[in-house]
Structure formats: C-alpha cells, structure tokens
A and B are shown apart, each in its own frame.
Chain A
C-alpha cells in the first residue's frame, strides 16, 4: 500500500500528449518523479526522440498527430500492447491560431477546434474502455483561464477551452461509478515558449492583471495535475482547478 495519498504513482502508466516542452514536459517529469512510467507524445519524430531522452528509463516518446485519421486509435492500441494498460491520461496538446473574428478564416477555427477539442473526445473514447474495466482511471484535461474569461483574438481557442470544461463535466458524470475521474486544470499565464514571445511592454500589462505579479511556472501546473492523478483525489471529479496567480477567480 502507498503511504502517501498525494504524489505517489508507483507502477502507474501515464499518457501525456504534447510532452515535448512547456507544461506537458513539466507534467511528464512530475509523474516520473512520483514513480509513474510515462508515454509522452509529440507531433514530430524529433520531438518524440527528445521526450525519450529526458524520460530515460521511465518512459518513451511517441509521435502523434491528433488530427491524422486513425492515428489516435493506433497509438492507444500500441501503448496498451506495450505497457498493458493506461491509468492516467493528460490531454495537454494544443495549438493557437489567433485572429480577430472579423478576419478569422474557417481553417483557423477548424484547426483549433479539431486539435484542442475533437482530439480530446477521440483520445478519451479510446482509453475509456480499459479504464472502466480496471475500475480505475484518471483523465486530466488542460484548459485555460481564457476559456472562462474570453480573450480578444482567441475566439477559436476560448471556444475550444470552454467546450473542454463542459466535456469534462459530462464525461465525469458518465463514468464516475467506474472509479474513473475526469477533471480539468486551467492555467493562467505560464512561463513557456508561448509567453516568451511577448514584449516587455506586453508582459507589464499582463502583470497588472495578475495579483501574484508574475508568470506561473510549468511545474506549478504539473503540481495540480499530479494532485488530480493521485489516489487522494479519487473523490474529485468534473472539477476545474484554476492555477493563475489570482487573475481570475471562478
């Protein structure tokens, strides 16, 4: 028996999408530190190799283009064959295609909805059968503060992230009786490649809206995800944990 209700994932198999860098990488590393074996996905071969390199003996990187026909089912089957089961799924892979709605192309809308929302539906569906059979599973969807607040230039991204919350709640209700929890973590502004692109001026303006007056660290998102993946969070489901330095309080 595990001595700790939080942060002990000994013997568990976790799948983390979009694990090359940033928040996904921090989650994969936190899981490894907690004793899990991690399969991290990337869109490119190079990305998958980089994941394998940082995971070492504790997991493997695999390529996954969530929008490619059949790719999700093939990956899940592959992982289940190789590792026997999937205990924890973290849907972290996401993209942005920002534009004011007046100028937003159908293509920009569809790419974001397909990658950030439709793919989550498909991956969850593919892992559910195994989790329900095992009477144990953890699904954690990475949302965003803007799914709650909205953000100009990101109608597509905000719609996908808000949709993710409704999806999370519905699936949580469907499979709670099988010992599978489904939750979301909604990061605010986190220090990743995405926010490194901001100018000093932009950063200053963002800081004005964050009571904590700094960007969050990827590890601070990973900590919330690790909690939800832990045995101690078995009674938390359908919930969204906001990690944003106080910039929005739900």
Chain B
C-alpha cells in the first residue's frame, strides 16, 4: 500500500503531466508546474475521488503547493 504522500504525488504527476522530480514539496502548481485555474480545479477533483472526501471551496483555494495537498489529505483522511 502506498503512503498518502506517494498517492498525492502520483495524482499530481498524472493530472498536470509533469515529471516525478519536478514534484517537490514546495513546488507551486501554478508557478512551478504550469497549472492553470482549470488544472487546479481538476486536481482537487482528482484528490477528492482518490481519497473519497469532499474538499470545500475555501479549503481548495489554499491548496497551492504539493506540500499543502499532502498536508490537507493527511489532516482529513481517517
């Protein structure tokens, strides 16, 4: 079973079409990984599906980096 961190990174790689080595913890989706606003919405939707959770809009807005995504899922998955 993969860790949450691995699963989150895998989704980011798939959704944004980036290389594994680019997905550093501090990497920003929009500034470093070339995501546009629609990409980030799709990314959040993919995270919701993978972890069977619903991420409220106001929380989703704060998920701007790889680490922020990992932290959110760690905090909210049971």
Contact = CB atoms under 8 A, between A and B. Distances in A.
Q: Interface size for chain B: under 10, 10 to 19, 20 to 34, or 35 or more residues?
A: under 10
B55 to A, nearest CB: 14
Interface in B19-39: 36, 38
Contacts of A175: 38
A178 B45 contact: no
B6 interface: no
A177 B38 contact: yes
A81 B41 CA distance: 23
Interface string A18-37: 00000000000000000000
Interface string A98-141: 00000000000000000000000000000001001000000000
Interface in B25-74: 36, 38, 42, 45
Contacts of B42: 132
Contacts of A78: none
A132 B42 CA distance: 8
Counting contact residues on chain A (CB < 8 A from B), the size range is under 10
A175 B42 CA distance: 11
Is the contact region of chain A dominated by helix, strand, or loop, or is it mixed? helix
A164 B49 CA distance: 30
Contacts of A177: 36, 38
B53 to A, nearest CB: 16
Nearest to B15: A133
Nearest to A133: B42
Interface string A51-92: 000000000000000000000000000000000000000000
B13 to A, nearest CB: 16
A39 B71 CA distance: 42
A129 B38 contact: no
A170 to B, nearest CB: 13
A178 B42 CA distance: 11
Contacts of B36: 177
A174 B39 CA distance: 11
A177 B45 CA distance: 17
A238 B4 CA distance: 40
A174 B45 contact: no
Contacts of A178: 38
B25 to A, nearest CB: 27
A175 B39 CA distance: 11
Nearest to B37: A174
Interface in A148-203: 174-175, 177-178
A174 B36 CA distance: 11
A173 to B, nearest CB: 10
B67 to A, nearest CB: 26
A135 to B, nearest CB: 11
Interface of A: 129, 132, 174-175, 177-178
